């Protein structure tokens, strides 16, 4: 199939590279000449695991090209996939400026039969509006509009593309259904065909449900802290119920990224527009907003005033295996620490440019930790799994570890804190005091308890 992917952001690029791997001929078009020249010369404007190899393979097989010329991309393709961003608008609603600009260009340049696939996340009713508008500008232009949301997780996007739980396609004709089936014909996943409004809503409702799960478990984590329960055990017990499921029950400092925060705000704005308030979303957002400050409170509870203290932040992106800083909790955490007079040193293997200039970035994990008064784990970086605790304990000025992601097993930290005389504070689990402060009885009692 001859496909144009319009918009080479994260979703467009992954989609284009994966469709080329499936054997299709792909032209990726973007208005940014800078991005296109990077891509055309074999570079990558974003970091995503496995994407480099996939794009090199597609280029060597002549299955992918890059252009700023949307006219030729449209005219040389039968299927046009729109992957432009729909960022935060003024009142939280999705800003569709880029989407409509692309739709208008497509209308101008397409003369033959085309299938227009909207992959961007758009408010319910948008695909219908596009269809009506295309018909109004030319009744015989013959563009069949489909809505086909993506569910790609950053850092896992290529795997998610080839092994999706489901493919959703809002189609209005049988021909459109056939096109979607052919587009993804080698993927082992069910396709749910539906109307475009349901398809648009599936995307928002899925993301909101996942975000709600995260805020829910964070609310239960706070309650666990008050009552002495352990959130990891509680989440395990909840998740064993197959009606609930174990995924997205990791308590921590809340969700960030380019999708959840934006989509939930847009979903709330949609609720207002359609006169259907969604209070569960309001609570999801307000619980999430408080997470970073709550983490800093744990620091001040232990260290007192942060003025003059040095804090090591480990992991800056909104999650591991990405360089994406959009809505990353680290931004708020570092700003609060700086406001309170701390010096913030940080390490993230994928981040080399950070929008808070006062934060000192280090290339080495141990340099970031050196002479600090606390280590704060902000994302569950793979490198942290093999931390040398002896080095950490020697480098720290105050032996305090605040684990915002519960990335270490509580039992393991009981042993490590005892061995290296460190205080370990996590989320929704009892704090583990340094051995000198706690005394041998604390460790003995908790070792028995954790069995």
Judged by the rule CB under 6 A, the positions of this chain that interact with ligand UDX are 150-154, 207, 210, 214, 248-250, 252, 255-257, 259-260, 318-319
The residue to which tokens 């970086």 are assigned: 381
Alpha-carbon separation of residue 416 from 48, 230, 394 (angstroms): 34, 18, 13
> Annotated binding residue at 8?
no
Nearer to ligand UDX, 88 or 248 (CB): 248
Nearer to ligand UDX, 121 or 435 (CB): 121
CA-to-CA distance for 29 and 125, rounded, in angstroms?
26
> Annotated binding residue at 318?
no
- Contact between residue 238 and residue 244 where contact means Cβ atoms under 8 Å apart: yes
CA-to-CA distance for 194 and 444, rounded, in angstroms?
59
Residue 425: partners with Cβ closer than 8 Å, 6 or more residues away:
298, 302, 400, 401, 402, 403, 431, 432
> Annotated binding residue at 248?
yes
> Annotated binding residue at 223?
no
Nearer to ligand UDX, 5 or 36 (CB): 5
- Contact between residue 14 and residue 26 where contact means Cβ atoms under 8 Å apart: no
Q: How far is the CB of 247 from ligand UDX (least distance, A)?
A: 7
| 28, 83, 171, 259: the active-site residue | 259
Residue 98: partners with Cβ closer than 8 Å, 6 or more residues away:
7, 84, 85, 86
Residue 330: partners with Cβ closer than 8 Å, 6 or more residues away:
313, 315, 316, 317, 318, 346, 378, 379
> Annotated binding residue at 35?
yes
> Annotated binding residue at 250?
yes
φ/ψ bin of 61: left (φ > 0), alpha (ψ from -120 to 50), beta (otherwise): alpha
- 259 is an active site residue: yes
Nearer to ligand UDX, 318 or 408 (CB): 318
Nearer to ligand UDX, 120 or 207 (CB): 207
Question: 14-31 b/e with 16+ CB inside 10 Å = b?
Answer: bbbbbbbbbebbbbbbbb
Show binding-site residues for substrate: 203, 248-252, 256, 319
Catalytic residue ranges: 259
Show binding-site residues for NAD(+): 30, 35, 86, 121, 262, 326
């Amino acid at each position: 199939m001859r496909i144009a992917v319009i918009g080479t952001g994260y979703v467009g690029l992954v989609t284009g590279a994966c469709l080329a791997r499936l054997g299709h001929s792909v032209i990726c078009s973007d208005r940014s000449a800078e991005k296109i020249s990077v891509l055309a010369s074999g570079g990558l404007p974003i970091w995503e695991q496995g994407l480099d190899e996939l794009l090199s393979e597609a280029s060597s097989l002549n299955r992918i090209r890059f252009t700023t010329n949307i006219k030729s991309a449209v005219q040389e393709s039968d299927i046009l996939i729109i992957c432009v961003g729909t960022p935060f608008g003024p009142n939280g609603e999705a800003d569709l400026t880029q989407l409509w600009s692309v739709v208008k260009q497509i209308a101008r340049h397409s003369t033959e039969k085309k299938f227009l696939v909207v992959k961007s996340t758009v408010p319910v009713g948008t695909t219908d509006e596009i269809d009506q508008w295309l018909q109004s500008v030319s009744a015989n232009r013959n563009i069949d509009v489909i809505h086909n949301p993506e569910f790609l997780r950053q850092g896992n996007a290529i795997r998610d593309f080839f092994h999706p739980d489901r493919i959703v396609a809002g189609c209005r004709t049988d021909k459109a259904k056939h096109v979607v089936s052919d587009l993804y014909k080698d993927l082992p996943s069910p396709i749910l065909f539906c109307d475009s409004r349901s398809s648009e809503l599936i995307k928002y409702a899925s993301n909101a449900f996942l975000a709600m799960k995260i805020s829910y478990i964070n609310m239960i984590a706070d309650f666990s802290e008050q009552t002495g329960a352990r959130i990891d055990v509680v989440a395990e017990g909840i998740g064993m119920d197959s009606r609930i499921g174990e995924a997205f029950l990791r308590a921590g400092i809340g969700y960030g990224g380019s999708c959840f925060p934006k989509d939930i705000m847009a979903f709330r704005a949609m609720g207002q527009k359609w006169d259907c308030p969604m209070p569960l979303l309001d609570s999801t957002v307000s619980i999430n907003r408080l997470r970073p400050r709550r983490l800093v409170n744990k620091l001040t509870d232990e260290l007192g005033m942060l003025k003059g203290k040095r804090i090591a932040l480990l992991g800056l992106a909104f999650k591991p295996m990405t360089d994406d800083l959009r809505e990353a909790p680290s931004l708020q955490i570092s700003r609060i620490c700086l406001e309170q007079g701390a010096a913030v040193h940080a390490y993230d293997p994928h981040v080399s440019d950070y929008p808070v200039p006062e934060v000192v970035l280090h290339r080495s994990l141990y340099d970031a930790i050196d002479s600090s008064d606390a280590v704060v784990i902000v994302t569950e970086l793979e490198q942290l799994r093999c931390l040398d605790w002896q080095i950490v304990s020697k480098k720290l000025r105050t032996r305090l570890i605040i684990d915002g992601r519960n990335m270490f097993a509580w039992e393991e930290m009981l042993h490590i804190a005892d061995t290296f005389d460190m205080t370990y504070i996590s989320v929704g689990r009892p704090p583990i005091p340094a051995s000198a402060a706690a005394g041998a009885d604390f460790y003995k009692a908790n070792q028995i308890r954790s069995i």
